[in-house]
Amino acid sequence: MYQISNKIYCPKDIMQLELPTKLLPNPYYEYPFLVIKDFFSKENLEQLNEILRVDDDVEQAKVRKKDINIINRKIDKSIRETKIHKLPKEYINLYKKQFIFFQKKIEDYFCLALTTSTKPQVLEYTKGSFYKAHSDDSNMILKDNKLVGFTTVAHQRRVTTVLFLSDDYTGGELVFNYLYDENKQVVKLRVNSGDMVVFLSNPVFTHEVLEVTSGNRFTLVQWHDAIIN
């Protein structure tokens, strides 16, 4: 195993792959990802949950597919079973304001400068929903079912933010498939609503959302381009 931070390790075969966008955080940190506590207050979340629970303007989430060298987005329920809501209007400015407040912390942590960001999306996972292992900037290259590398599909995308919006669900842990702790256990996160998990979008941070077994898991995700310092 290769040690990527004080408490976290990554299998050598992953680190040895040709990864065009491999950027790693400071190895002297405890963890290679950042958890920002209380990005949204409990009051904000309560109201936002009420709005989302009756919002029926939803879209079925798609995944990237490569057909003869053209990347398309398609629904594939064997990879991803999630619904997408728009962030309610009343929350757009509050989200932006909070993001600006925490932006420097994110930039300092990963030694980069954020430039443009995608529109934030609210994801809804109900019982049976999941999102299989993927990297946010690349597609996996498999040969005879074995991972042999990654093709970058979102070249400028560096940082992923996931803000947790609800607590009343079971299952649905966020797993980092190639990150292991000191006890050789794969990293599985369950954070409180209002907290934001920030990580790099490259293949080292390949992640998965385990199946939700009850309740509603809402997250707000956004991807950010950046200039590396």
Under the rule (CB under 6 A), what is the footprint of ligand AKG? 123, 131, 136, 162, 174, 207, 209, 219, 221
Q: Which is nearer to ligand AKG, 40 or 131 (CB)?
A: 131
Task: Pick what 220 binds: ligand AKG, Fe ion, none; C-beta below 5 to 8 Å, kind-dependent.
Answer: none
Residue nearest to Fe ion (CB): 136
Q: How far is the CB of 164 from ligand AKG (least distance, A)?
A: 8
Q: Which is nearer to ligand AKG, 162 or 183 (CB)?
A: 162
Binders of Fe ion in range 136-195 (CB under 5 A): 136
Task: Pick what 202 binds: ligand AKG, Fe ion, none; C-beta below 5 to 8 Å, kind-dependent.
Answer: none
Task: Pick what 19 binds: Fe ion, ligand AKG, none; C-beta below 5 to 8 Å, kind-dependent.
Answer: none
Q: Which is nearer to ligand AKG, 110 or 169 (CB)?
A: 169
Q: DSSP string covering the chain, please?
A: -EE-SSS-EE-HHHHTS--TT-----TTSS-SSEEETTSS-HHHHHHHHHHHHH---EEE--EEEEETTEEEEE--TTTEE-EEEEPPHHHHHHHHHHHHHHHHHHHHHHTEEEEEEPPPEEEEE-TT-EEEEE-SSEEEEEETTEEEEEEESSTTEEEEEEEE----EEE--EEEEEEE-TTSPEEEE---TT-EEEEE-SGGG-EEEPPEEEE-EEEEEEEEEEEE-
Residues in contact with Fe ion by the rule CB under 5 A: 136
